[in-house]
Amino acid sequence: MFAELPLAPPPGFRKAIPDKVKLEVVIKQHSLCATCGEKLGKLEDTQFDHVPAVQMRCWDPVAKDTVPPSNDEECIFAKHVGCHAEKTFGSKASKRGADVTEIARTKRIAKETEAFRRRILAKNEPDVTVELGNKRPKKKWPSRPFDRRGKNGKPRSGCEEGSSEADG
Ligand SMILES: [Zn+2]
């Protein structure tokens, strides 16, 4: 069933990012914003973005964490507060690509995919019979000898008179 994402993290799931992880991320990015590429300023002006968004990841019920783990530094990007807000909620011009939009879209697509699958399965009647392998080999007509005609051009018949051909 695709109707819901069964292994999505619990709604609102979020773990605080340890300072060590934040530091690793900032160093990895050479203190540059992952969105605009400008230098990151103060820590208060910096936010840490999960990519993919935590709510869009699969959920590992045993580890009680997402896959990849929510604090995997490889999946966290440091950004200006403003740049992050634009990614999370979409710019005023377009909400397309924003996490909140994408999460809703992912669930909608899952539902549409399921509906589509049902239509395909219902439609799977053998209404089209493909005729293959039914090709008859070209029949070679038995070669028929030409009618032997008499010299006068008339078909030879048994009662032909004055035949020049020797019989027997
Ligand atoms: Zn930025």
At 114 the pLDDT is 74
d(CA 60, CA 22) in angstroms, rounded, equals 23
Residue with the two structure tokens 């999960």: 50
The CA 27 to ligand 1 mean position distance, Å, reads: 16
> What is the rounded average pLDDT of the residues 115-143?
64
The CA 97 to ligand 1 mean position distance, Å, reads: 17
Question: In the chain, what percentage of residues exceed pLDDT 70?
Answer: 62
Answer yes or no: is pLDDT of 125 > 70.
no
Task: Give the 3-state secondary structure of residue 23.
Answer: helix
Task: Give the 3-state secondary structure of residue 142.
Answer: coil
At 135 the pLDDT is 57
What is the band of 163 on the pLDDT scale with cuts at 50, 70, 90?
very low
Whether the Cβ atoms of residue 72 and residue 17 lie closer than 8 Å to each other: no
The CA 38 to ligand 1 mean position distance, Å, reads: 6
d(CA 148, CA 43) in angstroms, rounded, equals 111
What is the band of 65 on the pLDDT scale with cuts at 50, 70, 90?
very high
Q: Of 89, 87, 80, nearest to 26 (Cα)? A: 80
What is the band of 154 on the pLDDT scale with cuts at 50, 70, 90?
low
The CA 28 to ligand 1 mean position distance, Å, reads: 16
The CA 59 to ligand 1 mean position distance, Å, reads: 30
**Region of poorest pLDDT, from 48-52, 88-92, 129-133:** 129-133
Task: Give the 3-state secondary structure of residue 22.
Answer: helix
What is the band of 160 on the pLDDT scale with cuts at 50, 70, 90?
very low
At 14 the pLDDT is 87
> What is the rounded average pLDDT of the residues 94-114?
71
Question: In the chain, what percentage of residues exceed pLDDT 90?
Answer: 32
The CA 102 to ligand 1 mean position distance, Å, reads: 21
Could you read off the pLDDT of 13-33 as tens digits, one per residue? Answer: 889 999 999 999 999 999 999
Task: Give the 3-state secondary structure of residue 26.
Answer: helix
- Tokens representing 67 are 């896959």
